[in-house]
Structure 1
Amino acid sequence: MKKIACLSLGFLLVLPMMANAQDKEEDRVKESGDVLRDILESPDKGIPHDLVHKSECVVVYPSVKKAAFVVGGSYGRGVMTCRTGEDFSGPWSPPTMMALEGASFGFQIGGQATDFILLIMNEKGAKSVLKSKLKIGGDASAAAGPVGRTATAETNAVMKAEILSWSRAQGLFAGVSLTGSTMRTDDDANKKLYGKELTAPDIVAKHEVEAPPSASTLLSELTKVSPHHQN
């Protein structure tokens, strides 16, 4: 009886910790959606929508603290959603949690937070990041994305890049190069969010889970702006 009582007590103590971990990831998903909506809806400083139409996946890292990169070169956390279907032509998938590691972003010295948006522009880049770590600029070519809803995207650098990236800090929105950093899926965060062991392909390609309510803004905004893939 004592053993049963101890196990029951331990379970009751663990439950709040599990709930708090899930809430933290839910907040990250929601914040990612808010960041993406603000940037895509911006009339003059946003991301060209034609690039979103051509992208396979969208990655958002909200509120990356610059101090974290100064102390130990740590990482930021965010989410990725990809178009579903064998040829990435279907609707946007539930989000898989992501990590950004090993980066030194130059101007990122200080305490303010920076939002990062990345578009993965082809199937090779999408499949690479879904199954393993991807070194930006090494495993996949990268470029700073053009700014402005109507900005031209017909430059050689943009057209050849597998990953395009932007940053927003203190109201300043700009294309930014993340070359040298590593992007990977965060399976621990996926477990906290969905309550079971899941890989990124389980979430994006195999449709093993439904999108959490916290992803409503993220997915509805992408569906509104770019419901269909354009090669």
Structure 2
Amino acid sequence: MLKKISVALCGLAMIAGSLSAQAEGDKSKVAERLTAAGQVISEIMATPDKAIPGGILAGASCVVVIPSYKKGAFVVGAQYGQGVATCRTPSGKWSAPVCVQLAGGSFGFQIGGQATDLVLVAMNQQGLQDMLKNKFKLGADAAAAAGPVGRNAQAGTDWKLNAEFLSYSRSKGLFAGINLDGTVLSQNQDDTRALYGTDIGFDQILGGKQVTPVEARPFVRTVAKYFVAARNK
């Protein structure tokens, strides 16, 4: 009897150890993604004449960064990427981040593949409210437009009046607005749980009610460096 109990306890210990190691592995992957997201912002903003215009930086409600968004196609196109998002809180500071994923598909005769960095900028309170949902489709549930680029970019009035999100892509050094209509942005609850160690509502995190984890602080500081500085000019 004692032997059976001992074996059972050992089994439970092994399972607990395995789950703990998996959780640490998942958190490590999220930490790497946060680092990559911060690098994307820094590298894009390193060339102001080809970066996100100051007016957009100043008015942003939320920022989503998806490093190495995968897009491949062989007759039927498929797109998928994982990233992180932070939103401006009522105090003007940027919130702790949440993990998100962007997925979509397209049909057509196309062959090829590429990895692209994506940046989505929520431009108003409606965009912020969309971020708090479980998922929404760009172009359908939330109006989106390809964002203007450059220090002196003169964007049309359509995005100012209607677009909830402005979208950008960077591939092979080229940074430009992109049309992401039809793709779905949704919460990645598993990775968010891995980052925080427990289930926390997206509204609580993006609303500024959650302390930013150590792993996420460099990313949040990078966003604040450019987006908050622009608002103060």
TM range (shorter): 0.7 to 0.9
Q: Following the alignment from structure 2 to structure 1, what is the Cα–Cα distance between the partners of residues 97 and 129?
A: 15
Q: Is the 8 A contact 2:71 2:79 kept in 1?
A: no
Q: How much does 1:70 deviate?
A: 7.7
8 Å CA contact 2:94, 2:208 repeated in 1: no
Matches within 5 A, 1:128-139: 128-139=130-141
Uncovered stretches (5+) of structure 2, i.e. residues with no partner: 1-5
Aligned counterpart for 1:77 among listed residues 82, 86, 110 = 82
The 8 Å contact of residues 45 and 147 in structure 1, kept in 2 or not, is answered as yes
Q: 1:44, CA displacement in angstroms? A: 2.0
User: Unpaired segments of 5 or more residues in structure 1?
Assistant: none
Residue 169 of structure 2 aligns to a residue in which SS? strand
Tell me which residue corresponds to 1:42.
47
1:151-205 CA distances to partner (integer Å, 9 max, x unpaired)? 123x122212111011001111111011111111211110111111122112111
Aligned to 1:25: 30
> Corresponding residue for 1:207?
209
CA contact (8 A) 1:61 1:76 kept: yes
Aligned to 2:101: 99
1:127 maps to what in 2?
A: 129
- The TM-score, its normalising length taken from structure 1, stands at 0.87
Aligned length: 224
**Residue 110 of structure 1: how far off its partner (Å):** 3.1
The structure number with the bigger radius of gyration is: 2
- Secondary structure in structure 1 of the residue aligned to 2:67: strand
How far apart are the structure 2 equivalents of 1:177 and 1:56?
A: 20
- Closer, same or farther in 2 for the Cα pair 1:14/1:183, shift >3 Å? same
Task: Report if aligned partners of 1:120, 1:162 keep a CA contact under 8 Å in 2.
Answer: yes
Distance change (3 Å), C-alpha of 1:101 and 1:70: farther
- In structure 2, the partner of 1:216 is 217
Per-residue CA deviations over 1:39-83 (Å, capped at 9, x if unaligned) read 122222111021011010001110112238987735211011001
TM-score under structure 2 normalisation?
0.87
Is 1:179 aligned to residue 184 of structure 2? no
Q: Quick one: distance in 1 between partners of 2:65 and 2:88? A: 15
> Which of 191, 194, 217 does residue 193 from structure 2 map onto?
191
Partners of 2:33 and 2:41 in 1: CA distance? 12
SS at 1:134 equivalent: strand
- Segment of structure 1 superposing worse, 28-37 or 6-15: 6-15
Q: After superposition, what is the alpha-carbon deviation per residue over 1:59-113, rounded to whole angstroms, capped at 9, x for unaligned?
A: 111011223898773521101100112xxx520001111111114499x963431
Q: Which protein has the bigger strand share?
A: 2
Tell me, in whole angstroms, the C-alpha distance in 1 between the residues paired with 2:77 and 2:154: 38
**Kept after mapping to 2: 8 A contact 1:59/1:80:** yes
Deviates more, 1:118-127 or 1:156-165: 156-165
Percent identity between matched residues is 41
Instruction: Name the CA shift for 1:152/1:217 in 2 (closer, same or farther; >3 Å).
Output: farther
CA RMSD of aligned residues (A): 2.4
Q: Distance in 2 between matches of 1:55 and 1:69?
A: 36
